[in-house]
Amino acid sequence: MRAIAGFIAALALCASTQAAPRCLSECTPRIGIVSAFGAEADLLIAQTQKKRVWTLAGKRYTTGVLRGQRVVIVLSGVSMVNSAMVTQQMLDHFRIERLIMSGIAGGLNPAQHVGDVTIPERWAMPMEVYWNGDTQVPAPCGKTGDVSCLGLKLATGPDGQPLPPYAPGLFMRETHVLNAANAPTGEFRFDYPVDAEMFAVARTLTPKLERCGPKARLPSGELDAKQCVREQPQLRVGGLGVSATVFLANAQYRQYLFETLKADTFEMETAALAHVAHANGVPYIAFRSISDLAGATEFNADVGALFMSGLAEANEAAVTLAFLDAWRLRKRPRP
What DSSP string runs through 171-211?
EEB-EEE--TTTTTT-EEESEEEPPHHHHHHHTT------S
Report residue 300's pLDDT band, with 50, 70 and 90 as the boundaries.
Answer: low
Q: What is the pLDDT of residues 13-32, one digit of tens each?
A: 444 344 455 788 899 999 99
Residue with the bigger pLDDT between 306 and 39: it is: 39
pLDDT at 5 exceeding the cut of 70: no
Please state the domain extents for the chain.
22-125+191-329
In this prediction, residue 9 carries a pLDDT of 46
- Residue 159 and residue 108: Cα distance in Å, rounded? 24
Q: List phi, psi (to 5°) of 134.
A: -145, -170
pTM higher than 0.85: yes
Percent of the chain predicted with pLDDT > 90:
71
Q: Do 240 and 123 contact (CB within 8 A), yes or no?
A: yes
What does pLDDT average to over the chain? 89
What's the rounded mean pLDDT across residues 205-234? 88
What's the rounded mean pLDDT across residues 202-222? 90
Q: What is the pLDDT of residues 110-165, one digit of tens each?
A: 999 989 999 999 999 999 999 999 889 999 999 999 999 999 999 999 999 999 99
What is the CATH class of 22-125+191-329?
Answer: alpha beta
Report residue 301's pLDDT band, with 50, 70 and 90 as the boundaries.
Answer: low
- Residue 155 and residue 163: Cα distance in Å, rounded? 6
Q: What is the pLDDT of residues 67-111, one digit of tens each?
A: 999 999 999 989 999 999 999 999 999 999 999 999 999 999 999
What's the rounded mean pLDDT across residues 318-324? 96
- Residue 210 and residue 214: Cα distance in Å, rounded? 9
In this prediction, residue 332 carries a pLDDT of 63
